[in-house]
Amino acid sequence: MVSRTHGYRYKSRKLLRKGPRERGLRNFSRLLHRYNIGDKVLIYVDPTFIVNAPHRRYHGKVGTVIGTQGRSYIVEVRLGGKRKLLVVPPLHIRPFGASQKARERGPTQGGSRGAAP
């Protein structure tokens, strides 16, 4: 019998697919963002560049930046009670907690929805 191939997208076609509104050019401000040691980041695999992406089991996990290696970041992730170190390029990570900080700031200009004029 012929052995089965295990390509980059093996068992992850649905996970590593962009939606209709995500297609097109990448967000350059996210690529230019600099992370400091101790920052929390969200590992989010960009399916456009799958060759240097972390394994699909780390997609959606939150980790801590503990250093750099070239242009990539060394991210510590806890998985199954163990400490894992990942070397992740900046296009596969996002800052964690940005949406939480926006919620703490409160409503933006335009006021709240339920307010009377």
Topology (CATH level 3) of domain 28-96: SH3 type barrels. (2.30.30)
Residue recorded with tokens 């919620």? 103
Give me the pLDDT at residue 24, please. 75
Across residues 61-83, what is the average pLDDT? Answer: 95
**Residue bearing the bigger pLDDT, 18 or 89:** 89
Torsion-angle region of residue 63: left (phi > 0), alpha (psi -120 to 50) or beta?
A: beta
The per-residue pLDDT for 8 is 79
The mean predicted confidence, pLDDT, of the chain is 83
- Summarised one tens digit per residue, pLDDT across range 9-66 is 788 778 778 888 878 777 777 778 899 999 999 999 888 888 888 998 999 999 999 9
Structure tokens at 51: 């060759």
- For residue 39, the model assigns a pLDDT of 95
Q: How many CA atoms are closer than 13 Å to the CA of 104, on its beta-carbon side? A: 5
Answer whether residue 103 shows pLDDT above 60: no
pLDDT of residue 41: 96
